[in-house]
């Protein structure tokens, strides 16, 4: 009896404890839910204010005005990886825009011709001037390149009505093409330091003629272009418009803009973690990022205003590169001034679009930072970041000497002149949001790997991609 009493008392108190715990838990959960709700509400409000809908990818086909042409895209993919388009015989788009990194660089500054055929951390050869941006999502950019030197005047890459503006010699001559990326694809094959090399004589048009002359001699390409373009099937030779349309069609398949933030914006509240939501609120609020990394209107939700700013990035200069840098010491990058010739445009670079930055091995136009944390921290106080900058984390040929920093800091964008103060927790929330909240998993190497062809139609040797071993 005594025993029963004890055990029933125990049982009762256990029950009581259980009930009390449940009440507490429920109470705690609903407080938590209330708090989450208010974070959600705040974030939905911020997204609405800044014009973010999370539906940009769904609108792609409508913008294009037709479905993607699979035959053209596949042909473009083969060309992307085939060194047949590079007259130096050792590089093609894929050597710099690599599937190991979202079709962007594997290096802080691109290596073009005279490389060791490796695409990855062990790529070797003379460097060019800047880091290769991701081709993923470039189909939605109204201006291209770090200094926006290729631009759709309409502000819409799908709309050539205002013309596509390029520096000379192309000027407006590519404006008849249907999309900014089709026009852009005319440029790299003619770039001597990227793929063409210095031995073939002539101008850019001569180089392009030689590239299509080679393509027309390869029966497999004649067949593939014929399947993608009726006029080639009817007997017309392959021309550079065909080449560029195929390349751009492949780039249209690289729109990866369905990240956790997009899903959250479309109503899936648990697509972002709580800390990512807090990071997002900082991004769209106190940290001021969205002032330049815009999402509304012509930004196409790409996290860039597609305008240029001086943010005080240290001037990294390769030893033994094959591009002569700007300035009296040939150790500077004048950015937009290279295009306009106007010294007030010196050191201006396009606000970097931020989707999928998680797959990039380095950040900024010259890869000055190899950690996303450092690239973001730089913005909080560019002056002290630049003055204490150390290139020690970069490959040996990029470790200095650096170009002058004072003239860069003199021109620092007013938006970044007042340091932004974040607590350690806030900072890590912000970094977490930028890294994961904007990452569309389809851009990860394990998916893009499947796009690398085993062989290419020209029969040329294929590039050796250094995909990291899967875990």
Q: What are phi and psi of 148, to 5 degrees?
A: 55, 35
Per CB under 6 A, 158 contacts ligand HEC: no
The interface region with ligand HEC, picked from 56-64, 168-176, 314-322, 374-382 by CB under 6 A, is 374-382
280 is a site residue for ligand HEC (CB under 6 A) = no
Give Dmax (Cα) for the chain.
107
* CB of 139 vs ligand HEC, minimal distance in Å: 8
**Strand, coil or helix: what is 152?**
strand
- CA torsion 239→248→460→91, rounded to 10°? 110
Structure tokens of 469?
A: 């071993």
Shortest spacing between CB 33 and ligand HEC, in angstroms: 29
Q: Show the binding pattern over residues 6-45: x = contacts ligand HEC (CB under 6 A), - = does not.
A: ----------------------------------------
Site for ligand HEC in 298-317 (CB under 6 A): 309, 311, 313
- In angstroms, rounded to a whole number, what is the distance separating the alpha carbons of residues 303 and 140? 11
Contacts with ligand HEC in 99-118 (CB under 6 A)? 110, 112
Choose among 263, 252, 199: nearest CA to 61: 252
Stretch of 33-41, 167-175, 350-358, 441-449 contacting ligand HEC, by CB under 6 A: 350-358
Q: Which helix (H) or strand (E) holds 119?
A: strand 118-119
Q: Is 93 in the site for ligand HEC (CB under 6 A)?
A: yes
Q: Is 308 helix (H, G, I), strand (E, B) or coil?
A: strand
Q: Which residue from 43, 119, 174, 195 is in contact with ligand HEC, where contact means CB under 6 A?
A: 195
Q: How many residues bind ligand HEC (CB under 6 A)?
A: 51
CB of 115 to ligand HEC, least distance (A): 8
Instruction: Give the whole-angstrom CA distance, residue 449 versus residue 308.
Output: 33
Q: Judged by CB, which is closer to ligand HEC: 271, or 280?
A: 280
Report yes or no: 77 and 453 within 8 Å, Cβ to Cβ. yes
Distances (CA, A) of 344 to 308, 309, 338, 410, 411: 12, 11, 11, 12, 9
Strand partners, 464: 118
* Closer residue to ligand HEC, CB minimum distance, 135 or 272: 135
Helix or strand (DSSP H, E) at 383: helix 382-387
Token match 């060309």: residue? Answer: 79
| Among the residue ranges 29-37, 44-52, 228-236, 285-293, the one whose residues contact ligand HEC (CB under 6 A) | 285-293
Residues 138-157 contacting ligand HEC, CB under 6 A: 138, 141, 144-146
Binding residue for ligand HEC, selected from 87, 96, 119, 408, defined by CB under 6 A:
96
Do residues 359 and 351 make contact, with C-beta atoms less than 8 angstroms apart?
Answer: no
Query: Is residue 128 within the footprint of ligand HEC (CB under 6 A)?
Result: yes
Q: Which stretch binds ligand HEC (CB under 6 A): 19-27, 43-51, 177-185, 224-232?
A: 177-185
How many Cα atoms within 13 Å fall on the side-chain side of residue 237? 12
Over its C-alpha atoms, the chain yields an Rg (Å, rounded) of 26
Q: Are 356 and 364 in contact (CB under 8 A)?
A: no
Q: Which of 351, 356, 458, 460 binds ligand HEC (CB under 6 A)?
A: 351
CA atoms within 13 A on the CB side of 69: 16
If the CB atoms of residues 56 and 135 are measured against ligand HEC, the closer one turns out to be 135
Query: Which span (34-42, 87-95, 255-263, 392-400) binds ligand HEC, by CB under 6 A?
Result: 87-95
DSSP 17-58: HHHHHHHHHHHHHHHHHHHHHHHHHHHHHHHHHHT--S-TGG
What are phi and psi for residue 401, nearest 5 degrees?
-70, 150
In the complex, least distance from residue 67 CB atom to ligand HEC, rounded to whole angstroms: 21
Site string for ligand HEC, 227-256 (x = CB under 6 A): --------------------x---------
Q: What is the smallest separation between the CB atom of 382 and ligand HEC, expressed in angstroms?
A: 9
Q: CB of residue 11 vs ligand HEC: minimum separation in angstroms?
A: 56
Which residues lie near ligand HEC (CB under 6 A)?
A: 91, 93, 95-97, 110, 112, 128, 130, 132-133, 135, 138, 141, 144-146, 181, 184-185, 188-189, 194-195, 247, 287-289, 291-293, 309, 311, 313, 349, 351-352, 354, 357, 363-365, 372, 375-376, 379, 413, 415-416, 430, 434
């Amino acid at each position: 009896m005594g025993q029963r009493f004890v055990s029933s008392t125990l049982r009762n108190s256990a029950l009581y404890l259980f009930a009390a715990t449940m009440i507490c838990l429920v109470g705690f959960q609903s407080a938590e839910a209330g708090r989450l709700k208010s974070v959600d509400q705040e974030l939905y409000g911020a997204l609405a204010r800044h014009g973010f809908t999370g539906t940009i990818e769904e609108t792609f086909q409508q913008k294009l005005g037709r479905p993607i042409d699979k035959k053209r895209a596949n042909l473009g993919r083969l060309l992307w990886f085939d060194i047949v388009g590079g007259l130096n015989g050792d590089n093609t788009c894929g050597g710099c825009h690599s599937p190991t990194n979202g079709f962007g660089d594997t290096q802080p500054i691109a290596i073009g011709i005279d490389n060791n055929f490796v695409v990855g951390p062990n790529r070797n050869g003379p460097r060019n001037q800047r880091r290769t941006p991701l081709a993923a999502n470039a189909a939605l950019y109204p201006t291209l390149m770090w200094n926006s030197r290729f631009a759709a005047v309409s502000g819409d890459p799908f709309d050539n009505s205002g013309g596509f503006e390029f520096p000379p010699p192309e000027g407006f001559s590519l404006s008849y093409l249907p999309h900014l990326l089709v026009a852009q694809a005319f440029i790299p094959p003619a770039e001597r330091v990227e793929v063409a090399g210095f031995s073939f004589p002539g101008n850019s048009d001569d180089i392009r003629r030689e590239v299509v002359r080679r393509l027309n001699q390869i029966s497999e390409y004649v067949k593939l272009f014929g399947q993608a373009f009726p006029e080639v099937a009817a007997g017309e030779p392959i021309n550079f418009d065909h080449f560029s349309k195929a390349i751009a069609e492949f780039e249209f398949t690289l729109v990866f803009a369905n990240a956790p933030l997009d899903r959250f914006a479309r109503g899936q509240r648990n697509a972002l973690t709580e800390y990512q939501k807090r990071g997002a609120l900082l991004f769209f609020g106190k940290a001021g990022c969205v002032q330049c990394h815009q999402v509304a209107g012509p930004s196409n939700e790409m996290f860039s205003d597609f305008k240029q700013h001086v943010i005080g990035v240290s001037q990294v200069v390769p030893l033994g590169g094959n591009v002569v840098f700007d300035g009296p010491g040939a150790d500077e990058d004048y950015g937009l001034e290279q295009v306009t010739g106007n010294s007030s445009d010196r050191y201006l670079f396009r606000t970097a679009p931020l989707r999928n930055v998680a797959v990039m091995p380095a950040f900024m136009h010259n890869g000055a930072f190899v950690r996303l944390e450092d690239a973001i921290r730089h913005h909080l106080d560019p002056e002290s970041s630049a003055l204490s900058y150390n290139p020690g984390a970069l490959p040996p040929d990029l470790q200095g000497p650096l170009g002058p920093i004072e003239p860069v800091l003199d021109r620092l964008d007013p938006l970044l002149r007042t340091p932004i103060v974040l607590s350690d927790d806030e900072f890590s929330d912000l970094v977490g949001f930028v890294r994961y909240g904007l990452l569309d998993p389809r851009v990860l190497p394990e998916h893009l790997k499947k796009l690398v062809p085993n062989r290419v139609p020209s029969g040329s040797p294929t590039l050796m991609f250094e995909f990291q071993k899967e875990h």
